[in-house]
Amino acid sequence: MILTVTLNTALDLTYQVPALVPRASHRVALSTERPGGKGVNVSRVLAALGHETVVTGFAGGATGARLRELLAPVPRLTDALVTVAADTRRTVAVVDSAAGDTTQFNEAGAAVTAAEWAALRERYARLLPGAAAVALCGSLPPGVHVGAYADLIRTARAAGVPVLLDTSGEPLRRGIAARPDVVKPNAEELAGLTGSREPRRATLDARRRGAHAVVSSLGPDGLLAATPDGLWRAAPPAPVRGNPTGAGDSAVAALLAGLADGAPWPDRLARAVALSAATVASPVAGEFDPAVYADLVGRVLVTEADDTRA
């Protein structure tokens, strides 16, 4: 199975309105709710691809109960969340149908106690022996120390389980020094880590900080990966129009599956770009279009940029 860790899970609410007008009252044309948080999203994509996956992290209160209720019917996905006293946070996305834009409101999350963090560490250690790979995803809730991901990476490495890290800021800076197998930053996260906005320089700099491989997002232009096998560029055959919500989590799901099965880097990157593009093309935010994925996966252009080997 493939394990994902989401310390700051969320109940994702989406409201669709004809047009978003500041300081005005709006009639909601459509509303949806989904279990959320980056690792939860990754596991949902993995399950849809046919992988057995386990979700751990924190969930509490009425919103946590609703999140778990929505996870329960997902085939091939097992809920191993730790129950906490505080309510799980919510995120609210307001989709402006006229403009095609989305405005996002993300709660910070409630504080986690020392006892709850210890319970998570214990559950994580119990789950690792059965995992082919693990992903540590998203922000840290209040009460969890900034080096938490670094600690979880070291625990996974001691258990011989390959680990992917997808976070930002100081948790990313400390986590990458613990030598995860893969780090997946977007352009802003990479710039915050390295101080550079030039993709090649920043990606190589990030890898020198400790990660075995760094796969950086180039947005609609695909991915750039600095790996032990060289520097790779992967791009879709043509621009894909649609909603980018969840595209990054789909890319992480593909990279994590490739990490678990030891696929060659060109295959991992082709799947990640195709799955990300299929998520953009899907009419439902955060889902992917299987037909688009099947069509694109063999047409993604993957090239070796130079001979930057470890």
Tell me which residues are annotated as active site.
Answer: 249
* 39: nearest Cα among 90, 79, 73: 79
Alpha helices in 30-168 (DSSP H): 38-48, 61-71, 114-127, 148-158
The CA dihedral of 86, 73, 57, 104, to the nearest 10 degrees, is -70
Query: Residues 222, 235: contact at Cβ < 8 Å?
Result: yes
Cα 122 to chain centroid distance, Å, stands at: 23
* 177: nearest Cα among 136, 204, 207: 207
Q: Torsions phi, psi of 68, nearest 5?
A: -70, -35
From residue 236, give the alpha-carbon distance in Å to each of 211, 221, 222, 270: 25, 7, 6, 8
Query: Residues 288, 45: contact at Cβ < 8 Å?
Result: yes
24 three-state secondary structure: coil
